[in-house]
Amino acid sequence: MIPVQGFDGQQVAVLGLGRSGLSAARALREGGATAICWDDNPKARETAEGEGFDIRDLSKDSAFDHISRLIISPGIPHLYPAPNPVIAKAWDAGVPVDNDIGLFFRSLATGDWDRFDTAPRVIAVTGSNGKSTTSALIHHILEEAGFRSQLAGNIGRGVLDIDPPGDGDVIVLELSSYQTDLARALTPDVAVFTNLSPDHLDRHAGLGGYFAAKRRLFAEGGPDRAVIGVDENEGRYIANQLSEGATDDRVIQISSGQKLSGPGWSVFARKGFLAEWRKGRQVASIDLRPIKGLPGAHNHQNACAAYAAVRALGVAPRAIEAALGTFAGLPHRSQIVGEKDGVTYVNDSKATNVDSALKALLAFKNIRWICGGLQKEGGLEALSAGFGHVRKAYVIGREADAFAVQLTGLETEACGTMDVAVARAVADAEAGDVVLLAPAAASFDQYDSFEKRGEDFVARVTAQLGN
């Protein structure tokens, strides 16, 4: 645990008692503060009370008397589409609002670091798609290269639940826009921006607000090195804002699909090969095509981001190449879950938006595509660029018929449920086909999470294949 510094003997309110909220409360108590906790869910309050925390309805008048700070969980809106009433009360009372990420960065360094030969370092990863795979891949490479590494944030453990880092340790954080938007302290050593596509638009009042939340990691954090995906204008903008000139190697530009030129530091993937260039010449190359855990151009972009991040810490190209070859991938992200009679079954339940689903479609051919769910803003038109890889779509979700109608030019079947979709896809599949779950939609019309949806797909495939 990382004890929170700076609030010894003070009362700090915690709103939202899920994983990050309870973790923050424990870390505050470990640092000498009194955590005053509240959640609208009675079961969550009961759990916190069972751990000895004070429970106070923070929506009541005078609830913020003697409170030094309010810590909120990522899922609680603090500005758009409207601020939570408790947050509005904190504003009125002049109480600063923060989250567990802010507490982490203000509390990580301690006096013990003065004895270390190499201070611990933090690599923070954000972006719309690929940040989980990129974070896990960085962590995997570091461990394979002999570093002590911990993975936390939006993946793995809560940021305040990790062990205090030792001499030369590295902490890898995946950070969502919900986390970067509010944190009052953001000071990673290396910050990574994978890409940007429309997502969480209601929470950020549009694409500009969403991008601004991501950009805070770089504008507020001032990382020593920044790894920036430049396949969208937003990434090019960040890279330009951070750089002092073409040869400034504090910025490492990455791309999937285009060759990056110039005298600076760049890592890019084209036709399945990763290349690193510095000062106008190529210094390393890796063939990514045989790596089963990283299929498709989108995963090659993830490989470029992870490669650049660990190169910034001095890891050698050969060590990175060896580690890439042993990366198994993450559950629900281009995860191969079965192969039989020449048919491959892939779980990409994490493809919850159009952009990530399109990347999955472009990664495979001869696809029996299981898609559908709670559709997000923006429509499905952009998916048409991948329709040439699809043999047939099997649509799930409560609005399966309406979803299927939008897939113009594809043969579709409105299946409604996962069991029907998997059964129909298995029955239709021929050798060389890929049965792919890439929903292009949220899961909440039928499942509690994309993980539950992916687990259902895996269970149905397993049953159909008789494994």
pLDDT > 90: percent of the chain: 90
Phi, psi of 221 (to 5 degrees): -80, -30
Say what the pLDDT of residue 293 is: 87
Say what the pLDDT of residue 197 is: 87
Q: Is the pLDDT of residue 326 over 80?
A: yes
Say what the pLDDT of residue 376 is: 85
Please count the other Cβ atoms lying within 10 Å of the Cβ belonging to residue 85.
10
Most distant CA atoms of the chain, gap in Å:
68
Say what the pLDDT of residue 150 is: 98
Whether residues 319 and 215 fall in one domain = yes
Q: What is the pLDDT of residues 145-166, one digit of tens each?
A: 999 999 999 887 999 999 999 9
**What is the average per-residue pLDDT within 101-115?**
96
Whether residues 300 and 320 fall in one domain = yes
Q: What is the mean pLDDT of the chain?
A: 95
Please count the other Cβ atoms lying within 10 Å of the Cβ belonging to residue 95.
18
- Predicted TM-score (pTM) above 0.85: yes
352 is in an annotated binding site: no
Helix intervals (H) in 312-353? 317-325
Q: Is the pLDDT of residue 467 over 80?
A: no
Whether residues 128 and 265 fall in one domain = yes
Helix intervals (H) in 39-148? 42-50, 85-93, 100-107, 131-144
What six digits make up the tokens of 365?
Answer: 């051919």
CA distance 367 to 351: 15
Does a structural domain hold residue 3? no
Window from 41-50, 194-203, 250-259, 413-422 with minimum mean pLDDT: 194-203
Q: Do residues 355 and 128 touch, judged by C-beta distance below 8 A?
A: yes
User: What residues have CB less than 8 Å from 85, skipping those under 6 apart?
Assistant: 59
Whether residues 284 and 396 fall in one domain = no
3-state secondary structure of 134: helix
Q: What is the pLDDT of residues 387-445, one digit of tens each?
A: 999 999 999 999 999 999 999 999 999 999 999 999 999 999 999 999 999 999 999 99
131 is in an annotated binding site: yes
138 residue type, one letter: I
State the SS3 of 152-167.
EECCCECCCCCCCCCC
Q: How many domains does the chain have?
A: 3
130 is in an annotated binding site: yes
134 is in an annotated binding site: no
Q: Is the pLDDT of residue 173 over 80?
A: yes
CA distance 465 to 275: 39
**What is the average per-residue pLDDT within 77-105?**
97
In CATH, what number is assigned to the domain containing residue 47?
Answer: 3.40.50.720
Q: Give the residues across from 339 on adjacent strands.
A: 344
In CATH, what number is assigned to the domain containing residue 281?
Answer: 3.40.1190.10
> What is the residue range of 298's domain?
104-325
Q: Do residues 351 and 357 touch, judged by C-beta distance below 8 A?
A: yes
Does a structural domain hold residue 359? yes
Does a structural domain hold residue 39? yes
Q: Give the residues across from 370 on adjacent strands.
A: 394, 437
Whether residues 205 and 245 fall in one domain = yes
From 98, 129, 144, give the residue that closes a domain: 98
In CATH, what number is assigned to the domain containing residue 372?
Answer: 3.90.190.20
CA distance 374 to 249: 43
Does a structural domain hold residue 330? no
Whether residues 383 and 238 fall in one domain = no
From 75, 98, 121, give the residue that closes a domain: 98
Does a structural domain hold residue 1? no
From 98, 116, 136, give the residue that closes a domain: 98
Q: Mark 324-359 as b/e (b = at least 16 C-beta within 10 Å).
A: bbebebbebbbbebbeeeebbbbbbbbbbbbbbbbb
